[in-house]
Amino acid sequence: MSGIQDSVKPALLMDYLQQFDNGAKRFAKDLIKQISDLLKVDLTSDQELYLNLRSHCLAMFERLRNHHKIENPLLNQIKQNYSALFGIVVLGISELYVNQDLDLGSLPETEVGFLVIHFQASLEKNIKMKKIIIVCPEGVGFSRLIQNKINSTLPLVKVKKIVPYKDIERYNLAGIDFIVSTIQFKCTVPVIQVSGFLDEKDINRLNTFVIQHAKEQTPNLMINLIDKCCVFPQQNFQNKEQVIEFLTNSLLELDMINQNFIDSVKQREKVMSTEIGNGVAIPHGSSELVKVPKIEVITLSKPIIWGKGKVDIIFLLALKFENSLQNKNAINSLYYLVNSKKILQDLRNAKTKNELYSVLTINPIK
pLDDT tens track for 249-277? 999 999 999 999 999 999 999 989 999 99
Asked if the model's pLDDT at residue 351 lies above 60, the reply is yes
pLDDT of residue 298: 98
Question: Distance (Å, rounded) from C-alpha 22 to C-alpha 17?
Answer: 10
The rounded radius of gyration (Å) of the Cα atoms in the chain is: 22
Asked if the model's pLDDT at residue 321 lies above 80, the reply is no
Q: What single-letter DSSP state applies at residue 189?
A: S
pLDDT of residue 335: 87
Asked if the model's pLDDT at residue 19 lies above 50, the reply is yes
Question: Distance (Å, rounded) from C-alpha 153 to C-alpha 203?
Answer: 8
pLDDT of residue 205: 81
pLDDT of residue 95: 85
* Kind of pairing between the strands at 191-193 and 178-181: parallel
Average pLDDT over the chain, rounded to whole? 88
Asked if the model's pLDDT at residue 36 lies above 60, the reply is yes
Q: Between the CA atoms of 354, 248, 319 and 53, what dihedral angle is there, to the nearest 10 degrees?
A: 110
Helix locations, the chain, DSSP H: 4-7, 10-19, 24-39, 47-65, 75-81, 83-99, 109-126, 140-153, 200-214, 240-253, 260-271, 325-339, 341-349, 353-360
The mean pLDDT value for 93-99 works out to 83
The whole-model pTM stands at 0.75
What residues contact residue 120 under an 8 Å CB cut-off, 6+ apart? 82, 85
CA distances from 135 to 33, 146, 152, 156, 163 (A): 42, 10, 19, 19, 5
| DSSP reduced 3-state for 84 | helix
Neighbours of 307 (CB within 10 A): 15
Amino acid at 140: V
Residue pair 359/342 in contact by the 8 Å Cβ criterion:
no
Asked if the model's pLDDT at residue 210 lies above 80, the reply is no
Amino acid at 312: D
Structural domains of the chain, ranges and CATH numbers in brackets: 4-126 (1.10.1790.10), 130-214 (3.40.50.2300), 223-360 (3.40.930.10)
Binning pLDDT at 50, 70 and 90, where does residue 130 land?
A: confident
What residues contact residue 81 under an 8 Å CB cut-off, 6+ apart? none
Q: Which of 73-82, 217-226, 313-322 is least confident? A: 217-226
Q: Which of 25-39, 224-238, 318-332 is least confident? A: 318-332
CA distances from 50 to 28, 230, 282, 336 (A): 7, 39, 26, 24
Residue pair 338/364 in contact by the 8 Å Cβ criterion:
no
Asked if the model's pLDDT at residue 365 lies above 80, the reply is no
The mean pLDDT value for 288-294 works out to 94
What residues contact residue 263 under an 8 Å CB cut-off, 6+ apart? none
Question: pLDDT digits over 49-69, tens only?
Answer: 999 999 999 999 989 989 898
pLDDT of residue 240: 97
